Amino acid sequence: MPDTTTQAKIEVRSFSATFGGKPVLRNIDLDVLPCERLAIIGPASSGKTTFLRCLNRLNDLCFGFARSGSILLDGKDIYSPDMDVADLRRRVGMVYAVPVPLPWSIHDNLAYGLKLAGIRDRATIDERIESALRSMVLWDEVKDRLKDPARNLSGGQQQRMCLARVLVLQPEVLILDEPCSGLDPICTAKIEDALAELKQRHSIVLVTNNTKQAARSSDRTAFFLSGELVETGPTSQVFTTPVDKRTNDYLVGAFG
């Protein structure tokens, strides 16, 4: 439901998506506010990831994808023809479920996005890399081996590096697709702590299969089911007094 007090960062309006004619998202209306963590929960194949990948237009690359409705970023339709898609993806940074370090050094992984953005100044690059790594509490662990292959990092370090790789671009919105699904509780806690810190400056959309994670580290929660947005509200309210019976059934573990 639209918030009237603050201008939403992202406004999704009557958005539907299909893959090869098969509906995946049905008529979604959802806002992402500035400096909030919005968790998206729901059972498998409920359209959570598809929704996330629409926010940075990554689904455009998939064969058979079609959509209707609009998604506004700061009031501007991201699907309008004059939108610079590369620039959009810099503003809406995405992290995937599985950490994907490119087969280069840690430094090159982090510098790649800056290079694409046309930033050549070494001092700026190094400074941005350091601050991104610091906000992921990774700087002290890797500062002496930035030239090492990123693949040598542990899984948790890799995922934090992938987050840092997006943060160097200073995105306005972070979209995270189950970023902790393959990580142990300690790594998960590190990332959740970092997200709590990051929401000071970024809007965060977090897709998660872990309802406890949503309860812990989000301000609002949206529940997706079969491509529909069933319910959205402050996390505490959704988890304690859900309006819709289906939300309640999912949260108590009746299905999913």
Partner 1 sequence: MRVSPFLSQRIVVVILWALAAITVGVLLYIIAYILIHGLPHLSLSFLTLSPEYMGRRGGVFPMVVGTLLVTGLAVLIAAPIGVATAIYLTEYTREGKMTAVIRFGADCLAGVPSIIFGLFGFVFFAITLGMGMSVISGALTLTLMVLPTIIRTSEEAIRTVPHSYREVSYGLGSTRWQMVTNVVLRSALPGICTGVVLSIGRSISETAAVMLTAGSALRLPHSLFDSSRTLALHFYILSREGISMPNAYATASVLIISILALNLVAYWLMHRFAVKVR
Residues that bind partner 1 (CB under 8 A): 56, 58, 61, 63, 86-87, 89-90, 93-94, 96, 98, 100, 102-104, 112-113, 115-117, 149, 151, 162, 165-166, 169
Q: Which is nearer to partner 1, 67 or 165 (CB)?
A: 165
At closest approach, how far in Å is the CB of 255 from partner 1? Answer: 30
Q: How far apart are CA 256 and CA 243, in angstroms?
A: 18
At closest approach, how far in Å is the CB of 83 from partner 1? Answer: 13
At closest approach, how far in Å is the CB of 97 from partner 1? Answer: 10
Q: 95 - beta bridge partners?
A: 176
What one-character-per-residue DSSP string does the chain give?
Answer: ---SSS--SEEEEEEEEEETTEEEEEEEEEEE-TT-EEEEE-STTSSHHHHHHHHTTGGGGSTTEEEEEEEEETTEETTSTT--HHHHHHHEEEE-SS----SSBHHHHHHHHHHHTT---HHHHHHHHHHHHHHTT-HHHHGGGTTSBGGGS-HHHHHHHHHHHHHTT--SEEEEESTTTTS-HHHHHHHHHHHHHHTTT-EEEEE-S-HHHHHHS-SEEEEEETTEEEEEEEHHHHHHS-SSHHHHHHHHTS--
Q: Which is nearer to partner 1, 166 or 205 (CB)?
A: 166
Residue among 154, 206, 204 nearest 183 (CA): 154
Q: Which is nearer to partner 1, 35 or 117 (CB)?
A: 117
Q: Which is nearer to partner 1, 63 or 255 (CB)?
A: 63
Q: Which is nearer to partner 1, 97 or 189 (CB)?
A: 97
At closest approach, how far in Å is the CB of 233 from partner 1? Answer: 29
At closest approach, how far in Å is the CB of 86 from partner 1? Answer: 4
Q: Which is nearer to partner 1, 79 or 112 (CB)?
A: 112
At closest approach, how far in Å is the CB of 152 from partner 1? Answer: 9
